[in-house]
Chain A
Amino acid sequence: DAKTTQPNSMESNEEEPVHLPCNHSTISGTDYIHWYRQLPSQGPEYVIHGLTSNVNNRMASLAIAEDRKSSTLILHRATLRDAAVYYCILRDEDGKLIFGQGTELSVKP
Chain B
Amino acid sequence: KAGVTQTPRYLIKTRGQQVTLSCSPISGHRSVSWYQQTPGQGLQFLFEYFSETQRNKGNFPGRFSGRQFSNSRSEMNVSTLELGDSALYLCASSLGGNRFEKLFFGSGTQLSVL
Contact = CB atoms under 8 A, between A and B. Distances in A.
Given A32-B100, A96-B56, A45 B105 contact: yes
A34 B108 CA distance: 21
Contact of A96 (B33, B90, B105, B108): B33
A101 B55 CA distance: 25
21 contacts: A31-B99, A32-B99, A42-B107, A43-B90, A43-B105, A43-B107, A44-B105, A49-B100, A51-B100, A87-B43, A92-B99, A93-B99, A94-B56, A94-B99, A95-B31, A95-B99, A96-B45, A97-B92, A99-B35, A99-B45, A100-B42
Interface of A: 30-32, 34, 36, 41-46, 49, 51, 87, 91-102
Q: Which 7 A-B pairs have the closest CB atoms?
A: A43-B105, A99-B43, A91-B99, A46-B102, A95-B97, A32-B99, A96-B56
